[in-house]
Amino acid sequence: MVVPAGGAQAPVRLEVRDGIGHVVLARPAASNAVDLRTAHALRDAVAAAAADDAVGAVLVTGEGKRFCAGGDVASMLAVEDRAAHLEELAGAVDEALVALHRMEKPVVAAVQGAVAGAGLAVMLSCDLVVAETSTRFVSAYAGVGLTPDCGLSWLLPRAVGQQRALELLLTPRVLTADEAHAWGLVTEVAADGTAGGRAAEIAGRLAAGPAYALGQARRLVRTGGDTDRAAVGRDEARTIARAVATPAATALLDRFGRR
């Protein structure tokens, strides 16, 4: 087990078990809302998981009744210079999520209760998402007169399309888990109380898979939108050439050849 700076009471923990790096949002009393301390702890947990060769896949979860209520509005209300505080907080959370987005290991999330604001950005920085039936999804920014942050205006349209993204951001629309699944926000819906177990099952299967191939497939998909079609093809060619020389690919290809 690895516990980031701050000890067992840290707002984000990294626990490594059976090849899975469990990144746990651990502010249940605040619905896992993200303040500066949480943002920095999330960044450290992601960096540690990325660097740990024992971690083959990452599982992101939130303790308590809600996955993540977004940015910590209470911390904003407690400071004199709200603009400076929000810019620092949004930048710190984004730094953590960019690192999560760029991680070359598959990332699974289990969500429950509510996913709001920056919590959507946390979720969309993961690859496969299991949502409990009663989970609700909302942007929440316009309701307090604020704008998207933490990369959400980039992540959301890529997940659901421009018009649906604008509907979520401009209106009070709240999505059910089934609607989120139909829109492409989540991978699957599980009964209440079971998302964590189901997501851990998926993460375990990924952790036992060909690490290089899975990590590079994730990288190619998540970075492909940042460049042109020809560059993506060249990157794919270089990457698959490296993949075929890995021990995992060698064993799997030899097994295929013996069929």
pTM summary value = 0.90
The model's confidence at residue 4, banded by pLDDT at 50, 70 and 90, is very low
Q: Which amino acid is at 112?
A: Q
Asked whether the beta carbons of 189 and 177 are under 8 A apart, the reply is yes
How far, in Å, CA of 55 to CA of 147, rounded?
Answer: 35
Domain ranges, ordered by start, for the chain = 7-207, 211-257
- Give the number of other Cβ atoms within 10 Å of residue 239's Cβ: 16
The confidence score (pLDDT) of residue 1 equals: 45
By percentage, how much of the chain surpasses pLDDT 90? 74
Per-residue pLDDT tens digits for 189-238: 999 999 999 999 999 999 999 999 999 999 999 988 777 778 878 887 88
The model's confidence at residue 7, banded by pLDDT at 50, 70 and 90, is low
Which whole number is the average pLDDT over 27-56? 97
Per-residue pLDDT tens digits for 88-131: 999 999 999 999 999 999 999 999 999 999 999 999 999 999 99
Asked whether the beta carbons of 202 and 221 are under 8 A apart, the reply is no
Asked whether the beta carbons of 46 and 96 are under 8 A apart, the reply is yes
Residue found under tokens 């497939």: 217
Q: In 3D, which of 177, 15, 202 has the Cα closest to residue 126?
A: 202
Between strands 188-190 and 128-132, the pairing is parallel
Per-residue pLDDT tens digits for 58-96: 999 999 999 999 999 888 888 889 889 889 999 999 999
Instruction: Please state which of the four CATH numbers 3.90.226.10, 3.10.450.50, 3.30.420.10, 3.40.50.11540 is assigned to the domain occupying 7-207.
Output: 3.90.226.10
- State yes or no: pLDDT of 5 exceeds 50: no
Which whole number is the average pLDDT over 244-258? 84
Between strands 114-116 and 128-132, the pairing is unpaired
The confidence score (pLDDT) of residue 230 equals: 82
Which whole number is the average pLDDT over 36-65? 97
How far, in Å, CA of 62 to CA of 149, rounded?
Answer: 20
The confidence score (pLDDT) of residue 8 equals: 56
How far, in Å, CA of 153 to CA of 158, rounded?
Answer: 9
